[in-house]
């Protein structure tokens, strides 16, 4: 059995993570983080992901990040928080400032995948966005939580002011494209697909 870092510390043993980097990331972008690390040869980087469902309760993200920092942060030479603001109202940035660590720039993942400057310039306040993760998990993160599977008549109440669904694709995957198109049909919205790749996320991580 392998002891955790916390358990090793409790036993008075040394945790040898010299030169290593810890990423505390959102589970919704775990695939992308791992892919960027692999492409850039970041074998010295460890990833700890928080549940993606926290996006439904953004007030809980910063406290969750703090718990990971308290548990693991002291064992690494560098820590990076792979979250943008994500609806936390500046709470994640405050935690990062208190601990002297960096995070992803931008309001949310739609913005940094598209490129923060490009996303801001578009000003698409009437677009509903999907990423690869949300295309996969559309039912679990949108349909069921909003009760659209039980009460489809609520669709217009939630989405009546949107003009289109935009799929910001991180990968070239026809199956995900089909899922995103189906999501647009569910919401009765015109469909647009944009390939973004990893956007500003790649820039933020490749220098670790």
Same domain for 125 and 64: no
pLDDT digits (tens, 9 = 90+) for 129-159: 999 999 999 999 999 999 999 999 999 999 9
Number of domains in the chain: 2
pLDDT score for 19: 87
Same domain for 127 and 50: no
Does residue 204 lie within any of the structural domains? no
Domain boundary among 69, 104, 139: 104
- CA distances 201 to 49, 74, 81, 154, 161, Å, are 15, 24, 11, 34, 29
Write out the residue range of the structural domain in which residue 37 sits. 19-104
Does residue 96 lie within any of the structural domains? yes
Question: Using an 8 Å Cβ cutoff, are 164 and 136 in contact?
Answer: no
Q: SS3 for 17?
A: coil
**Longest Cα–Cα distance in the chain:** 60
Same domain for 141 and 75: no
Closest listed residue to residue 155, CA positions, set 184, 132, 117, 122 = 184
pTM of the predicted model as reported, rounded to 2 decimal places = 0.87
Same domain for 88 and 131: no
- CA distances 56 to 111, 146, 192, Å, are 18, 11, 25
Same domain for 59 and 133: no
Same domain for 31 and 91: yes
Give percent above pLDDT 70 in the chain. 91
Same domain for 140 and 165: yes
Same domain for 88 and 163: no
Same domain for 127 and 63: no
How far is Cα 19 from Cα 54, in angstroms, rounded to an integer?
Answer: 30
Does residue 4 lie within any of the structural domains? no
- CA distances 102 to 29, 105, 120, Å, are 17, 9, 21
> Residue 41 is part of a domain; what is its CATH number?
3.40.50.510
Does the pLDDT of residue 107 top 80, yes or no? Answer: yes
Question: Using an 8 Å Cβ cutoff, are 52 and 28 in contact?
Answer: yes
Does the pLDDT of residue 38 top 90, yes or no? Answer: yes
pLDDT score for 196: 98
């Amino acid at each position: 059995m392998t002891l955790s870092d916390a358990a090793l510390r409790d036993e008075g043993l040394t945790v040898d993570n010299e030169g290593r980097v810890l990423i505390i990331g959102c589970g919704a972008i775990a695939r992308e983080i791992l892919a960027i690390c692999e492409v850039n040869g970041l074998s010295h980087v460890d990833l700890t992901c928080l549940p993606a469902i926290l996006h439904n309760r953004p007030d809980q993200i910063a406290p969750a990040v703090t718990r990971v920092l308290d548990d693991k942060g002291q064992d690494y030479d560098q820590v990076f928080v792979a979250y943008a603001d994500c609806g936390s109202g500046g709470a994640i940035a405050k935690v990062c400032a208190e601990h002297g660590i960096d995070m992803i720039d931008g309001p949310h993942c739609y913005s940094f995948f598209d490129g923060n400057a490009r996303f801001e310039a578009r000003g698409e306040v009437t677009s509903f966005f999907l990423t690869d993760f949300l295309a996969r998990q559309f039912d679990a993160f949108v349909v069921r939580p909003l009760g659209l599977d039980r009460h489809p008549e609520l669709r217009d109440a939630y989405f009546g002011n949107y003009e289109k669904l935009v799929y910001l694709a991180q990968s070239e995957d026809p199956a995900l494209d089909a899922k995103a198109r189906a999501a647009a049909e569910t919401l009765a919205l015109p469909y647009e697909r944009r390939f973004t790749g990893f956007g500003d996320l790649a820039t933020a991580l490749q220098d670790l």
